[in-house]
Amino acid sequence: MSGRVSLIGAGPGNPELLTLLAQRRLAEADVIVYDRLVNPALLAPYAAEKIDVGKLPHHHKVSQYQINDMLVELAQSGKRVARLKAGDPYVFGRGGEEGQYLKQHHVAFEVVPGLTSAIAGLAAAGIPITHRDYASSFHVITGHRKAEGKELDWANIAHQEGTSCS
């Protein structure tokens, strides 16, 4: 029997901002594999086994390769796995890498989007990310790259019009 993996976005942390589908998948899960930035209050209502795979800058107690393998092994053992990530799993959340790995290993998965903090954080503070008079675009930029020592092109980024989020 094969299980499935749901790559779930937890949103910006407020449990009331979880989507209905995210709540349903968490309630159905046998195992919740979650990141460090997930609000613990989001986990409390669910009875599933919980596995913390959170990373700190320059300290990964569980490597991304181990997480990928764990998701495959859990699903192949018939488990319903909720992979819970802060924000949206496909916005700097490594959800794309995890989905690609699951697909390569023929594991059924779905993506349950979440509100990305790049937009929700500004909205919660009353700051529009776009405004017809001031910002006709927005750019979401990571603060670091996977390749060590390879810097972002900050001069180019500084000259972009619109709102920049990182």
Question: Tens digits of per-residue pLDDT, 43-98?
Answer: 999 999 999 998 766 666 889 999 999 999 999 999 999 999 999 998 887 889 99
The answer to whether the CB of 106 falls within 8 A of the CB of 114 is: no
Judged against a pLDDT cut of 90, whether residue 125 lies above it is answered with no
Please indicate, yes or no, if residue 121 is contained in any of the structural domains. Answer: no
Identify the residue with better confidence: 155 or 29. 29
Domain count for the chain:
2
pTM recorded for the entire structure: 0.84
Q: What is the pLDDT of residue 22?
A: 96
State the residue range of the domain holding 61.
4-116
Q: What is the pLDDT of residue 12?
A: 87
Task: Using DSSP bridges, classify how beta strands 4-9 and 59-60 pair: parallel, antiparallel or unpaired.
Answer: unpaired
What is the CATH number for 50?
Answer: 3.40.1010.10
* 73/108 same-domain check: yes
Q: What is the maximum alpha-carbon separation in the chain?
A: 56
Tokens of 53: 């795979």
The Cα 121–Cα 74 span in angstroms is 33
The answer to whether the CB of 119 falls within 8 A of the CB of 163 is: no
Q: What is the pLDDT of residue 49?
A: 97
* 71/149 same-domain check: no
* 8/79 same-domain check: yes
**Active-site annotation, residues:** 35, 55
Only one residue has tokens 């930035």, namely 37
* 103/136 same-domain check: no
Judged against a pLDDT cut of 90, whether residue 131 lies above it is answered with no
Residues 6+ apart with CB under 8 A from 24: none
Q: What is the pLDDT of residue 4?
A: 96
* DSSP letter (8 states) at residue 151: -
* 62/38 same-domain check: yes
Please indicate, yes or no, if residue 123 is contained in any of the structural domains. Answer: no
Q: What is the band of 122 on the pLDDT scale with cuts at 50, 70, 90?
A: confident
